[in-house]
A and B are shown apart, each in its own frame.
Chain A
Amino acid sequence: MLITQRKFVIDASRERIWDLIDRALFSTLDLQRMSVVDEHNITAQVPVKMGPIKIPMDLRVEITDATPLENLAATLHVKSKGGIIRLSTQTSIRLSRVGEDKTEVACTAAAEEMSALKRAVFLWKVKSFSGDVFDGVRNYLEKMA
């Protein structure tokens, strides 16, 4: 189920964007207590804003694709303490060359099919979280590229 999309162009080569992309994603997520389990799996805690407060959630980032210069894809598995809330989002950041030294960055987030209840309670949060992450990636790349 597609939930969020962002597309933007950065004034930098694909090589430079590729070099920065994982850092852009991880710094936007504001990871804490990070542990690199292996190169496909990273666990951490991530603070998720729920209304006025930030709740620490357990996150596992499962890298599903890292094709150099083309695509970085990961499944973000989020779980609250106690496991009451469990969500997985497939995130993909695709790079395309645009002209000489510009790169189009296409970000998509898709969630697992949700029950009506889950959708009612969490869909808005997942959408805003993904949107915030992609906006953060854009800000980071615009600043650092």
Chain B
Amino acid sequence: MSNRTYDVQADVVVIGYGAAGAASAITAHDNGASVILLEKMREGGGNSRVFGGNIAIASSMEFADYLDKITFGSTDRETIQTFVEGNLKLKDWIAKLGGELQPFVALKVLYPATKSKGDVSFPGLRGSETVRRYNLKGPEECPCDRMWRLISSNVERRAIKVLTGMPARDLIKSQQGEVEGVIAESEGKTLAIKARKGVILCCGGFENDEAMKFDCLGVKHIKFVGNPGNTGDGIRMAQKVGAGMWHLNRSATNIGFQAPGFEAAFYIFFSDVGFLYVDQLGRRFLNETYADPYEYASVLSNFDDREFRYPRIPFYAVMDEAVMRAGRLAYGTAGYNKNLYRWSLDNKAEVDKGWITRSRNLSELAKQIAVAESALANTVNTYNSYCGALKDPDFGRAKENLKEIHPPFYAIKLWPTILNTQGGPRRDKEARVLDPDGKPIPRLYSAGEIGSIWGFRYQTATNMAECLVFGQIAGRNASNNSAIVD
């Protein structure tokens, strides 16, 4: 025990009120513990309120073989098995909370689309056929809002104490090396909170910390679409008490638009295939209609050492009137901006704002996007000729995705964009945070994106599943500890 004086006490203190924090708090409470749930932002939710809305649930333990393969040795088999055991029970747990799942229907109406149409990100691997994606039934337009309503209503129903606008600053370690409390801060005032049984870190990653992103992901100017509160706080707190780290360089990259005046970016999708990407030299550089997050990451992060710049950060999407008419470019039902700005259905408002440029011809377009006209003309004309031949020998765009583009041209500046990071303090199958030698730091747990178990490739919709599974494990284990006696 330390000699510190505390302002408030609870058995379990949970830092971060998203799905992982809620699952931890609910489980700890139901296990008989008193709980304080700290949230940095004015409202809870984090990325759990703005993600795609789906959750991956498996039908058999063979899912562990698949996850073992795609984590590629970066996560121990025991932890993966524990996750799958919990994953198989998720439907029942969600039903106990009052939610009902429905299968997600993967339609190919927006581009870029995933290569595999369906639930599994890496088809053909053993165990891949066991996974399906689901989301919650509910009246809300956005599936993520349905999930948030379910879990937050369960927190409220249990009268769990939630302190919002209260960022945690430090963990308190006793002389015996146990984590026994948290220092939080609000409006210049400090609050020392004792955790008699345990502290659970559920505060997400570092997608809004530029220095950390550059250090860990190795690329500058990566934008994010999720919660601006995710600035690596929990990672720094854990490091200060001796936590080892894992998976810091992992993330799944998409493309997005950073609008002036917005903290988060907008995910961009096209409702028609008549578009192409050009880099700062006016060249295409990948198959625009298929989304491979790892290809995006490696191709966009290409650095030119002679010019000392990223020639593809930012890059431009060039499209014509058909794409503009077909539907809004910004994805409407996910991302932090979904409740802040309603993108116009025909994208005209965004042209008026200057977010999308309009050009009468290629010459004007080249000037607008500061690209050499001859290079741009060559790229567009070559692409159009490929459309006529229904074959793209450069980047293998499927023939059904080849459609000529004609003036007037529209262009939007795009960046590599992520929802979340995956790295942080390493945890074991009991959700205990480990030191660099693999020993648990007593009474410190974690769940969710802060040091997730997804250390190499990512199966879509498993972040939410992990929040809920490890949230329960952390909540149960923390609340099962004996209380620190004064």
Contacts and interface: CB of A to CB of B under 8 A. Distances in A.
Contact of A44 (B117, B135, B327): B327
Contacts of B143: 38-39
A40 B105 contact: yes
B325 A33 contact: yes
B349 to A, nearest CB: 12
A34 B109 contact: yes
B326 interface: yes
A18 B118 CA distance: 11
Interface string B313-331: 0000000000001111001
Interface string A28-47: 00011111111110101000
Contacts of A39: 104-107, 135, 143
Contacts of A34: 109, 271, 326-328, 345
B333 A38 contact: yes
Contacts of A33: 325-328, 345-346
A20 interface: yes
Interface of A: 18-20, 22-23, 26, 31-40, 42, 44, 63, 66, 68, 140, 144
B352 interface: no
Nearest to B133: A39
B105 A63 contact: yes
Contact of A36 (B104, B135, B333): B333
Contact of A22 (B109, B141, B332, B346): B109
B311 to A, nearest CB: 32
Contacts of B105: 39-40, 63, 66
Contacts of A18: 117
B141 A38 contact: yes
Given A33-B326, A34-B327, A40-B105, 6 more contacts: A20-B400, A22-B108, A34-B326, A38-B53, A39-B106, A144-B400
A46 B271 CA distance: 14
A10 to B, nearest CB: 13
B142 interface: yes
20 contacts: A18-B117, A22-B107, A33-B326, A33-B345, A34-B109, A34-B327, A34-B345, A36-B109, A36-B332, A37-B332, A38-B53, A38-B135, A38-B142, A38-B333, A39-B143, A40-B105, A42-B107, A42-B109, A63-B105, A66-B107
Interface of B: 53, 104-110, 117-118, 135, 141-143, 271, 325-328, 331-333, 345-346, 399-400
A33 B347 CA distance: 9
Contacts of B108: 19, 22-23
Nearest to A43: B345
Contacts of A38: 53, 135, 141-143, 333
B381 to A, nearest CB: 23
A13 B331 CA distance: 32
Q: 6 closest A-B pairs (Cβ-Cβ)?
A: A34-B327, A33-B345, A144-B400, A66-B105, A39-B105, A34-B271
Nearest to B331: A36
B327 A63 contact: no
A104 to B, nearest CB: 20
Contacts of B345: 33-35
A22 to B, nearest CB: 5
Kindly name the residue among B135, B328, B400 whose own CB sees the greatest number of chain A CB atoms within 10 A.
B400
Contacts of B142: 38
Kindly name the residue among A35, A63, A68 whose own CB sees the greatest number of chain B CB atoms within 10 A.
A35
